Each structure stands twice: as C-alpha cells, then as structure tokens.
DNA sequence: TCTGGGGTCCTAGGACCC
DNA sequence: TCTGGGGTCCTAGGACCC
C-alpha cells in the first residue's frame, strides 16, 4: 500500500454506556432538562455529561414524548431495541418506551468537535473535514504514518483524542477514502482496522451494498431488485449492464467502488456553496389562516441566513425557498439576482417573491430559506465596485 | 409511528449566445 | 424559414451524507 487514508469517527456520549438513552428532539421542552439537572444537582460537574449516578426516573421517558423530532444518536443499550439515528422519536417511543430522552447540547458538541479536529491537525496536517464527528486523514506523508500499515499513527491519534476530549473514536486505515470509511465501521466503538488491498475479497465483498458511502436507500433497493445484495455480487456484474441500468456516471462508479477503486484526494480546504436555514413547525401551518405566524418565521429565517453569511464573510446571488407540505412532498423555488448580497431585507424580498410561485393552498410543515452561488464577501464587494457604475444616489437623498 | 437541519452533488430541460 | 452543434447559465427535483 503506498497511500494510507484514515477515516475517523467520533463517538459521543460514552459516559451513558449501559443506559438506554436516546438523544435528539432539540428545541423542545426537553431542552430544559440539562438546565434543570444543573439546578437540582449543582454539585455535579455537568460538563462531562456524567449521568450514571442520577436516579433514572428523574429523566423524561421517551414514552411521554409528543413532538416531531428525530434521534440524533442513541446508546448501544438503546440500539438493542432497534432504535437508531434519524428515526422519528414517536417510532422510537414505541420500540423502547423506557429509553431516556436527552436534548442535544449543540454547544458542547461543537466544542468537542473543534477539539477533536485540532488534535488531529497537530499530528497529521492533511485532514478533510466531513462534519462534526468525522474526518479523513492522509497518512502518506506523516512521519511514521506507514508503520504497521498505519496502526502506530492511528493509535497515537486515538490516544490523543481521548486525552483531549475524553471521547473514543474508531479509525479505519486503507489505501483510499472509500475503503478507509468502511474499515472504520469494523471495530466500533474504539477500534482500529487496517484493510490492505488484498483484503478486498475477504473483508469488503461480503458486506451489503448499503455499506458503500454513496449507496443510499434508493440505490440499495434497486440493486436488491436485481438480486445484488453484497458488494461481491456487485463486483461480478458486467460494467456495461451496470451503466445501462444505473446510468453512465453512477453505473461506472458502482463498478469501480465494488473493486475497491477510489482515487479521490483528501481535500483540506473548500469553499461553501450555499447556506440555509429551515424549520419544521410544531403543527402544520396554513398560508392564509396562519399568515402572521408564517410571516414571522419567514422573516426570522431570512435574518438568520443573513447573519450566517455576514458572520462567515460570504454573499450570494441565488436566493431560494423550500417548502414541505403535510404529505412530506418538498418543493423549491429560487431566483438569481444580478449582484451578491448578504442583506436580510434583500433576501427577504426575493425569497418572498419565490414564495408567491408555489401552491400555498396546502398545509405546510417546513419552511426554509437558502442563499447559493456564494462568493467571499470581500471578492463580492470588489466585483461590485469594478463592474458597477458609481452608485446612483436616490433622488430623495440628493434633495435632503 | 410519520420522517430534523445543514449541506453537496447530479440530472435534465430550456434559454440564450456564438 | 429551417436547420446545425457547442457552451454556459438558470431552475427544479432528488439522492445522499453527517
């Protein structure tokens, strides 16, 4: 193996080990739980989230949940009941009513996430950010990165992350990102897996196709309908047939990944393409009957996107909205304007026009606002001053 | 038992220009 | 008036990921 890629996945809330706990729901009554716990048990250190000595009946049971949230993550004890990430909390309550429901502590997650990444960067500078709890690392040019197939370096990273955050992670090392990602799942929650090119048949081919990063529920269903369940079965299919069945690009890609081939580099820097804010209402709203409420939420979303853009230093020129109706069908509308903006009023104005182009007679469960075609704010400003004539001073301003 | 929020990328048709 | 091909941009929807 001449290149070594590692996929590192951080595992949250290890201190809840053994308890059936489900985390999720967000922004609801349960948000108060941690605050209440801090009040009731002020002597305890809540920064490490150690809940093991608190009476269980103190916590809200999942069975009493009535909202619309989904599970962010669940302990292994809760997963035994079939609950897991992205599952609706109402469904989870049926499967495991005794589970304890905790809100997500977003600030804490962000803090740990930053610590996790900065710790890795000190050891291995070629790192790709894949979200709050996941990164790819290129070990190839890290001194000692190839000793024992990468295991020595992986061990050092794992140990350093644990010292910095108190949280465990699993690491997969392989010749490319695709295999490294799959390898990182072999030895959860605190393992290291090395997969060599010659391990393809024994370790990768027996896996279900769904384990491939990029094969989701739809593609998996279609593969199954053709009798393809494992990656090995996929690898045996004629690439021409795959292209005919799944399209030129996706079909070719399926063939390549089934043979463990992936030459994507680890990307250390990237510019955002869009920024958005969206919200699902507690109950479905109607454009006419709930006009005031909808209007207020809409304005808030526009202000939030504008604030996000300004804080991060970007401006965009494609402004759009997203609606989800009560039947879960989504529609989007967007418009591209002739200049870059990060202003809430401008976003609100153009998004408002987009809103007029969709069916507003049906009940709405979600509303979102998006700004795309982003450019760094300084570049956008330079562009504006170089391409536009001197700004026209409005008549009223000239007069007064 | 209905399914969060924040993203990226791909596809496909149509407009428009050369 | 009909007929080209290529390239780019815009828009809408959808799959997928964390």
- What is the model's pLDDT at position A396? 43
Structure tokens, A345: 């009023």
> Nearest nucleotide (C1') to the CA of residue A223?
C15
Q: Quick check: A115 and A164 in contact, CB under 8 A?
A: yes
Residues with CB under 7 A from strand B: A 26, 68-70, 72, 85-86, 88-91, 94, 131, 247-250, 270, 272-280, 308, 327-328, 365-366, 368
| Residues paired with A320 in a beta bridge | A334, A370
Three-class SS state of A72 = strand
Our measurement of CA A131 to C1' B5, in angstroms, reads: 13
DSSP for A241-281 reads HHHHHH-HHHHHHHHHHHTT---PPP-------EEEEEEEE
pTM of the model: 0.87
Number of helices (H), then strands (E), in chain A: 14, 12
Where is average pLDDT lowest: A26-30, A349-353, A374-378? A26-30
- What is the model's pLDDT at position A100? 83
- Determine the Cα–Cα distance for residues A314 and A376; give it in Å rounded to an integer: 4
| CA angle, residues A246, A251, A256, in degrees to nearest 5 | 155
Token pair 């499967």 in the structure block, residue: A95
* Residues 313-332, chain A, CB closer than 7 Å to nucleic strand C: 318, 320, 329-332
- Determine the Cα–Cα distance for residues A192 and A201; give it in Å rounded to an integer: 20
Structure tokens, A245: 């069945």
Three-class SS state of A321 = strand
CA dihedral A358, A359, A361, A366 (to 10 degrees): -60
- Determine the Cα–Cα distance for residues A94 and A380; give it in Å rounded to an integer: 51
Write out which nucleotides of chain B lie closer than 7 A to a protein Cβ.
1-12
Share of residues in chain A with pLDDT > 70 (%): 83
Q: Which helix (H) or strand (E) holds A341?
A: strand A330-341
Instruction: State CA A141 to chain mean position distance.
Output: 29
Q: Are strands A364-376 and A314-325 parallel, antiparallel or unpaired?
A: antiparallel
Asked if the model's pLDDT at residue A171 lies above 60, the reply is yes
Asked if the model's pLDDT at residue A357 lies above 70, the reply is yes
Q: Compute CA distances A112 → A11, A24, A162, A374, whole Å.
A: 11, 17, 11, 28
- Determine the Cα–Cα distance for residues A218 and A361; give it in Å rounded to an integer: 30
Instruction: Write down all domains in chain A, each with its CATH number in brackets.
Output: 4-104 (3.40.1170.60), 108-199 (3.30.70.270), 205-258 (1.10.150.20), 274-385 (3.30.1490.100)
Please, how many CA atoms are within 13 Å of residue A174, restricted to the half-sphere of its CB?
28
Q: Quick check: A33 and A105 in contact, CB under 8 A?
A: no
Q: How many residues does chain A have?
A: 400
- What is the model's pLDDT at position A44? 61
pLDDT, tens digit (0-9, with 9 covering 90-100), for A40-95: 667 666 554 555 555 555 667 787 777 788 988 888 888 899 998 889 999 998 99
What is the strand order of the sheet A364-376 is part of? A274-285, A364-376, A314-325, A330-341
Per DSSP, A176 falls in state S
DSSP for A26-81 reads -SSGGGHHHHHHHHH-TTS-GGGT--TTS-GGGSPBGGG--S--BEEEE-HHHHTT
pLDDT, tens digit (0-9, with 9 covering 90-100), for A312-344: 999 999 999 999 999 999 999 999 999 999 999
């Amino acid at each position: 193996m001449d290149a070594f890629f590692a996929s590192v996945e951080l595992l949250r809330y290890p201190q809840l080990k053994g308890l059936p706990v489900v985390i999720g729901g967000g922004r609801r009554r349960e948000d108060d739980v941690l605050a209440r716990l801090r009040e009731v048990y002020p002597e305890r250190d809540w920064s490490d989230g150690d809940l093991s000595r608190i009476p269980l009946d103190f916590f809200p049971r999942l069975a009493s949940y009535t909202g619309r949230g989904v599970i962010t993550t669940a302990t292994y004890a809760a997963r035994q009941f079939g609950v897991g990430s992205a599952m609706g909390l109402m469904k989870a309550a049926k499967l495991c009513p005794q589970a304890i429901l905790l809100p997500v502590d977003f600030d804490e997650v962000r803090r740990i996430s930053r610590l996790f990444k900065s710790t890795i960067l000190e050891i291995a500078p070629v790192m790709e950010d894949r979200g709050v709890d996941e990164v790819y690392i290129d070990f190839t040019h890290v001194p000692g990165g190839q000793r024992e197939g990468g295991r020595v370096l992986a061990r050092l990273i794992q140990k350093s992350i644990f010292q910095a955050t108190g949280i465990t992670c699993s690491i997969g090392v392989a010749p490319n990102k695709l295999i490294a990602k799959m390898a990182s799942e072999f030895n959860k929650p605190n393992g290291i897996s090395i997969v060599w090119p010659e391990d393809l048949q024994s370790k990768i081919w027996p896996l279900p196709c769904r384990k491939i990063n990029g094969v989701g529920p739809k593609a998996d269903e279609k593969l199954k309908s053709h009798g393809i369940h494992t990656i090995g079965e996929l690898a045996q299919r004629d690439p021409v047939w795959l292209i005919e069945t799944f399209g030129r690009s996706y079909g070719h890609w399926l063939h390549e990944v089934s043979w463990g081939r992936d030459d994507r580099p680890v990307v250390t820097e990237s510019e955002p393409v869009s920024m958005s804010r969206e919200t699902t209402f507690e109950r479905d709203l109607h454009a006419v009957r709930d006009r005031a409420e909808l209007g207020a939420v809409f304005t808030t979303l526009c202000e939030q996107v504008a604030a996000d853009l300004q804080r991060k230093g970007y401006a965009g020129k494609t402004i759009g909205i997203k609606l989800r109706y009560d039947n879960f069908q989504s529609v989007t509308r967007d418009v591209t304007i002739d200049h870059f903006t990060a202003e809430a009023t401008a976003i609100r104005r153009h998004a408002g026009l987009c809103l007029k182009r969709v069916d507003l007679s049906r009940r709405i469960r979600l509303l979102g606002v998006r700004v795309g075609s982003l450019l760094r704010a300084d570049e956008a400003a330079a562009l504006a001053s170089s391409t536009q004539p001197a700004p026209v001073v409005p008549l009223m301003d000239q007069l007064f």
